Amino acid sequence: MKGKNDSAVAQREAVAAVQACLVHLARLGLLMKADARLPSVTTIVAGAPVRGSWWAHPLAHTIFFTLRDLADHRDVLLLKLVDGKDTLVHRRFWPEIAAIALAGEPWQTRRLASDAAKLLDRVTSAGSLECEGPSARLLEARLLVHGIQMHSHEGHHRKRLETWQQWAARAGISLNELPSPGESKRTLEAIWPGARWPWLDR
């Protein structure tokens, strides 16, 4: 990788980058992790759309630390949403996300592979569990579970899947006061008209 390899410099730059991203997220409600077309963290940090892998960008370390800190922020929910990609959602739209995720609509389970269905049963029974792989990614893409990226003490990435009910309890979202799924979809679609939403792809 070319460019800035000084971790300390990148972490300092990330402090300002996080604040800039939070301003955009608060205004828009949504922000892509990486996208050359829609508003994204990589574009904000780099100052221009990043095409291809952002790991090859000179500011890759700054982008990494910015994304890490945003994922841990109290007002940010990170999930697979727009175009099947990682999307940051501002707290004010969390009830809409919960309403859509918990609707149990046909697009969520249609043609769901047996391995994914079994994994969903396991997550539902346990509340949460560590799991990675194609089935886990499919459940996330269908908004059937919430995926949490974690880091082990050895520096490895791990993924924990949890039910949306468990997430809502942690997030302080009342499931008795959610908007309707239809209203929630219209609210999100109005932010980025023409974007690819998971409920439109089935």
Grouped pLDDT means (10 residues each) for the chain, 202 residues: 66 94 97 96 96 93 95 96 96 98 96 96 96 93 92 65 97 96 98 95 59
Q: Do the strands 157-162 and 76-80 form a parallel or antiparallel pair, or are they unpaired?
A: unpaired
pLDDT at 81: 97
- What is the token pair recorded at 145? 């579970």
pLDDT at 155: 52
All domains of the chain, ordered by start, with CATH? 1-92 (1.10.10), 103-177 (1.10.10)
pLDDT at 151: 61
Cβ pair 139, 124 in contact under 8 A: no
* Alpha-helical runs (H) found in the chain: 7-28, 41-46, 60-71, 94-101, 106-109, 114-126, 134-141, 164-171, 181-189
pTM of the model: 0.91
pLDDT at 157: 66
Q: What are phi and psi of 9, to 5 degrees?
A: -65, -45
pLDDT at 34: 97
